[in-house]
């Protein structure tokens, strides 16, 4: 694929911090002077005039190009939400084409999924993984910090490998101010069980910060592979 770099951002489920991590990667790229676009193929759970995930990214990272292909009011998987709304679903092919178009005029395109990796876009079974495969690009996985994340994250990375997709690493989407024992141990255990590096941990609540403070949080919350300065702390 010609043009700028494309990175897909998925997660182990809903509410794990994908939007914050997407914004953090975008913030570091913007700080390097790159032209950045963020693509949300399908936004669910948001009405026509309500702010969606891209509104948060634009607020946190001024200067990015946002693009949303479709939105559906019910807070459900995109395929289900589209069906209930009587609207056309977004297909993986359409999402890939939109990413290619954006890549032609940007240095970096971030494609943020809805929910987890294998949540259906359409009733034919298309998923975010299919979009990544069509683009032949890596998928960054966002995970939770605490108990239960090892299994969910290992399954997600395994699903990527089974499809021949590359996962550069895992980022914890919301690192608690007072982490419990499970969270602290997961800093070591996540890379061990997934076989991919841990590439950061964004502080819980970072999404509520002003843009300038968020840029600082991004720099310290993401590892060097993503342009930041984060270092894994060992218990």
Active site residues: 40
The two three-digit tokens of residue 208, written as one number: 């509520």
Q: Is residue 42 within a helix (H) or strand (E), and if so which, with residue range? A: strand 36-44
Task: Give yes or no for a contact between 220 and 182, defined as CB atoms under 8 angstroms apart.
Answer: no
Q: Is residue 154 within a helix (H) or strand (E), and if so which, with residue range? A: helix 149-162
Phi-psi region of 231 (alpha: psi -120 to 50; beta: other; left: phi over 0): beta
* Residue 174 three-state SS: strand
Calpha distance 40→72 (Å, rounded): 12
The two three-digit tokens of residue 234, written as one number: 């060992």
Contacts of 62 (CB under 8 A, 6+ apart): 211
Phi-psi region of 147 (alpha: psi -120 to 50; beta: other; left: phi over 0): beta
Task: Give yes or no for a contact between 50 and 169, defined as CB atoms under 8 angstroms apart.
Answer: no
């Amino acid at each position: 694929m010609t043009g700028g770099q494309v990175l897909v951002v998925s997660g182990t489920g809903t509410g794990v911090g994908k939007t914050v991590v997407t914004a953090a990667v975008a913030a570091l790229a913007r700080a390097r002077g790159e032209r950045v676009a963020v693509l949300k193929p399908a936004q669910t759970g948001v009405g026509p005039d309500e702010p969606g995930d891209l509104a948060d990214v634009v607020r946190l990272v001024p200067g990015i190009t946002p693009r949303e292909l479709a939105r559906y009011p019910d807070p459900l998987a995109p395929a289900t939400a589209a069906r209930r709304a009587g609207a056309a679903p977004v297909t993986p092919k359409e999402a890939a084409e939109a990413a290619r178009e954006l890549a032609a005029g940007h240095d970096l395109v971030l494609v943020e999924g809805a929910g987890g990796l294998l949540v259906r876009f359409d009733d034919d079974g298309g998923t975010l993984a299919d979009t990544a495969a069509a683009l032949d690009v890596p998928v960054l996985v966002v995970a939770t910090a605490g108990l239960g994340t090892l299994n969910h994250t290992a399954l997600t990375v395994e699903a990527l490998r089974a499809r021949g997709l590359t996962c550069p690493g895992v980022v914890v989407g919301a690192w608690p101010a007072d982490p419990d024992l499970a969270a602290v141990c997961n800093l070591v255990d996540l890379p061990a069980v997934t076989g991919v590096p841990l590439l950061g941990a964004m502080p819980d609540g970072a999404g509520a910060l002003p843009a300038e403070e968020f840029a600082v949080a991004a720099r310290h919350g993401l590892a060097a592979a993503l342009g930041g300065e984060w270092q894994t702390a060992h218990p």
